[in-house]
Amino acid sequence: MPQPPKEFIEWYNSLKVVKANNGPANGSIATALVVLSRLMGDYDLNFNAHIADGGMQIKGASGIAVAFILKNFGELRPFAKEGGRTNRGGPSEVRSLLETLKKLKFERLSEKKRNTELVVMQTFLVERVRDFHNRQKIKLTFNPAISTWHIIHSLLSTATAEGKAGYIAQHLVGAKLQLRFPDITVSNESASTADMQTQRPGDFLIGHTSFHVTVAPMPAVFDKCLHNISQGYKPFLLVPDSKLIGTRQIAEQNSEQQIAVESIESFISQNINEISIFNKDKLADSFKELIRIYNTRIDEVETDKSLMIELPSNLL
């Protein structure tokens, strides 16, 4: 496979690395794909030609545009739903990309040869998209001799180390609710979706209880809980065990005895134990079903499939 010029590789390596991706942000790759496509029709390296009105977004960047480009390379998996439109670093990254192209002096080439070079660059980026999709899933260690609480705690610790704790915590709680209440529709939104975008009272609403899942309880989540109370809902705040005591104290200061606070580990593990009728022989089946539901929910709403949990061999 032809490789792009070293100058382009250097530009790619200069992009800010996102810990959760172990590489550049999806939006960075998405905007570059869009700009390279535009250059095939109009090789204008003027930065202003690629910036939409207002100067904060890349012209033509959208999830649909990126999906169309990827489809031409045979990559059909969803990637960068916003197409880089919300990528704050997008304009500066595009500016540096255009400066890199100026150094390569592709304008001296025929249009056919120039476009061939641009396709090679796009191919390189598409391979990075494939790397993104093919990353390893989160590892789960299942040992029936260890308490269910510690199995969940260990899973969250792994997620924290990989910068994915917020996503995984929310979807684990969603999977737990779906497992516990199979006859109730449990909403499923990307963990990056703000409550205000969907007009939902929290991450999940079961009966009159609004569940909020967070690994970093900030003032905003307590404001949401107070709003729930004013609307007649009972707020239920779920946080990692390490944040439990402090969160309970703040909850009491905000609204005495009206905000329920529990650890994510206890909330999930207790139900798993109950569904298993506290029988270790049934525990494996309950865990397997929890992870199956979790992975299905991830697949439905998240573009990052590395958020999925890999079933260990003793649960297969």
Which residues, in sequence order, are bridge partners of residue 92?
Answer: none
Which one, of 168, 187, 162, 163, lies nearest residue 307 by Cα? 168
Instruction: Average the pLDDT over each of 119-123, 184-188, 298-302 and give the range with the smallest value.
Output: 298-302
Instruction: Give residue 84's pLDDT.
Output: 54
Domain ranges of the chain: 6-133, 138-315
Band of the pLDDT at 22, cuts 50, 70, 90? confident
Instruction: Average the pLDDT over each of 114-123, 169-178, 305-314 and give the range with the smallest value.
Output: 305-314
Instruction: Average the pLDDT over each of 31-40, 45-54, 113-122 and give the range with the smallest value.
Output: 45-54
Q: What is the pTM of this model?
A: 0.67
The burial of 66, by beta-carbon neighbours within 10 Å (0-12 exposed, 13-18 middle, 19 or more buried), is given as: buried
In CATH, 138-315 is 3.30.70: no
Q: Which helix (H) or strand (E) holds 302?
A: none
Arithmetic mean of pLDDT, 177-190: 93
Q: pLDDT tens for residues 163-180?
A: 889 999 999 999 999 999
Instruction: Give residue 79's pLDDT.
Output: 82
Q: pLDDT tens for residues 246-274?
A: 999 999 999 989 999 999 999 999 999 99
Instruction: Give residue 170's pLDDT.
Output: 96
Whether the pLDDT of residue 196 is over 60: the answer is no
For residues 45 and 57, what is the distance between their CA atoms, to the nearest angstrom? 16
Residue with tokens 């869009």: 34
Buried b (16+ CB within 10 A) or exposed e, 165-194: bbbbbbbbbbbbbbbbeeeeebebbbbbee
Arithmetic mean of pLDDT, 124-136: 87
Q: pLDDT tens for residues 145-160?
A: 999 999 999 999 999 9
For residues 262 and 285, what is the distance between their CA atoms, to the nearest angstrom? 25
Instruction: Give residue 35's pLDDT.
Output: 95
- Residues 263, 220, 62, 39, CA torsion sign: negative
Whether the pLDDT of residue 194 is over 70: the answer is no
Which residues, in sequence order, are bridge partners of residue 309?
Answer: 138
For residues 156 and 165, what is the distance between their CA atoms, to the nearest angstrom? 6
Whether the pLDDT of residue 20 is over 90: the answer is no
